[in-house]
Structure 1
Amino acid sequence: MSVVRYDKQGPVAIVTMNRPDYRNAQNSAMTYALDSAFTTAVDDAEVKVIILAGEGKHFSAGHDIGTPERDVDVSFERKAVMWWDHVDRPGGDQRYAREMEVYLGMCRRWREIPKPTVAMVQGACIAGGLMLAWVCDLIVASDDAFFSDPVVRMGIPGVEYFAHPWVLGPRAAKEVLFTGDRFSAQQALDWGMVNRVVPRESLTEETLRLAGRIAEMPQFGLALAKRAVNQAEDLMGLRTGMDSVFGLHHFAHAHNAEVSKDSLGGLDARSMKERQ
């Protein structure tokens, strides 16, 4: 079974994470399969809009930190090329290299896709799941969607693609991080993090409707408009802020490795869920 499905409906490409048994937790295999699917969509002149979806009840539970298919020790052909291959590197070098490529590097790469992207979110969108939704230009959420970034419980300041102050605003970002609590789709809408909240049974229909409306616009104009907004965000500090926080993120990993049994503060997917 492919960990990512690629479908096309007219001018709309649908890229679907396909690990529903693990709530679409992101291992490296999925990350590189997503990159391949996005590349296919970008290179297809007929595709004008890309939808990112998750198979099953949930969009994504975040990074894979505990499934049988976790693949942190496997090499893949690097595409973001933000750092060297992490496999066989010692200590912090290994973790920094992997996260710079697979998490921060890939998310930045996907943010710059020259075609509009729409995240179609249902159920859980947790930590690394937020990263995937945030790199998309628009987010349509079902009324049963919920969000959180609980990694402060690990002693970590936030996920690698640290866009919190820009997509939530500083005060909401602090509340989300300080408490680790879930917040609803309606709260996300009130904060301006998502564009629309729709009934679960209408999620696919409404997302396709929005994508179809966007696809009526000229492709080059869409690409330039996207780049204009992204550049404005970067001028407001998004990219440099993210660079700074990525250093804090890895300082936290190093601290955890010294004072606990691993760089995640001794927590895994099960213990994180139990503390929700």
Structure 2
Amino acid sequence: MKLTPNDVVTYESAEGVATIMINRPDRLNAIDEEVEQGLQAAWLHFNSRDEDRVAVLTAAGDRAFSVGRDRSVTAPPDYRRFTPNVVIAVDKPIIGAVSGWCLGGAMVLVQACDLLIAAEDTKFSYPEVKIGFAGGLLCALAGRIPHKIAMEILLLGKEISAQRAYDVGFVNRIVPVGQQVAEAQAMAREMATHSPLVMQMLKRGVGHALPKCPAEEGALALRETETVFNSEDFQEGLKSLQEKRRPQFKGR
């Protein structure tokens, strides 16, 4: 499925599984405005399709899942808007499938996945302390892996291997290079046969149980206000003021 003019994010659906792919291998899948818009559209489309019960998030090529923010882009990124379960709530399960470099904001994306399959050559790093910019969402890492390991990743900005990521609980399975997507899709197909209501209930429950960092708390407030501002009721309220009449709200 075409989501952006340049196909920088693709969406394929089969057997109850949506495969969402960042498709900029020539730029090591760096995240620019088109990728941001494509990912936003992909999560919204995933939410809208009852037949797609599990998503696999991956990227083209094996050199990098993503090297994070495209350095040619000068506008500050807002990962809250295209990272699932931040501004866009995604109750259905998401499985990440990564290989090669997974840097900066790409770690924010895979942190948001419920399960993660990594090729044996995967290298994770969050070098924001060396660059002078961070959005703060990866601070939630301390609620998902041991505190000291999270601080090492955040404050030293050095890479960790797929094996170490597995050892500390950030990765579920390590597979040979090139098999990460097939492994994730096989897992997703199995999950697609399970009760979608129960999976969604369990995911929401875990989401409430996990501690929230300040950036996530701010994003939750943004999600609520944007829901109001994008509603029919908001437009009806504005129109009723202009027409000097009592608004007819519909709750949507």
TM over 0.5: yes
Aligned to 1:104: 80
In 2, distance between residues paired with 1:166 and 1:225? 18
2:103 to 109, 121, 126: 126
In the TM superposition, residue 109 of structure 1 has moved relative to its aligned partner by 2.7
Report which of the two structures shows the higher radius of gyration computed on alpha carbons: 2
Aligned to 1:205: 182
Structure 1 position 201, deviation (Å): 3.2
Structure 1 unpaired stretches of 5+: 73-94, 245-276
Could you give the per-residue CA deviations for residues 84-126 of structure 1, whole angstroms, max 9, x where no partner exists?
xxxxxxxxxxx5xxx4xx312432134x301101111111100
Question: Does 2:35 match 1:59?
Answer: no
Stretches (4+) displaced over 6 A: none
**C-alpha distance in 2 between matches for 1:241 and 1:165:** 13
Shift of residue 202, structure 1, vs aligned partner = 2.2
Q: How far 1:204 sits from its partner (Å)?
A: 2.0
- Give the match for residue 38 of structure 1: 43
1:38: Cα distance to partner?
Answer: 1.7
- What is the CA distance between 1:207 and its match in structure 2? 0.9
Aligned to 1:160: 136
Q: CA deviation at 1:16?
A: 0.4
Task: Measure how far apart 1:13 and its partner are.
Answer: 0.4
Matches within 5 A, 1:68-217: 70=73, 72=75, 95=76, 99=77, 102-107=78-83, 108-110=86-88, 112-156=89-133, 158-162=134-138, 163-217=140-194
Q: Return the offset for 1:18.
A: 0.7
TM-score where L is the length of structure 1: 0.71
Tell me if structure 1 keeps the 8 A contact 2:94–2:115.
Answer: yes
Q: CA deviation at 1:242?
A: 4.6
Partner of 2:17: 12
1:18–1:24 Cα contact (<8 Å) kept: yes
- Which residue among 1, 8, 14 is the counterpart of 1:3? 8
Equivalent of 2:202, from 213, 216, 225? 225
**Structure 2 unaligned spans of 5+:** 1-5, 219-252
Matched residues in 2 for 1:62 and 1:28: separation?
12
Q: What residue identity is the alignment partner of 2:80? A: L
User: Which one of the candidate residues 29, 34, 51 is aligned to 1:29?
Assistant: 34
In structure 2, distance between residues paired with 1:116 and 1:146? 24
Q: Contact 1:28–1:71 (CA<8 Å) still a contact in 2?
A: no
- What RMSD in Å do the two structures reach over aligned CA positions? 1.8
Paired position in structure 1 for 2:243: none
Q: Do 2:136 and 2:215's aligned partners in 1 also have CA atoms closer than 8 Å?
A: no
Higher percent of residues as helix: 1
Give the TM-score of the pair, scaled to structure 2. Answer: 0.77
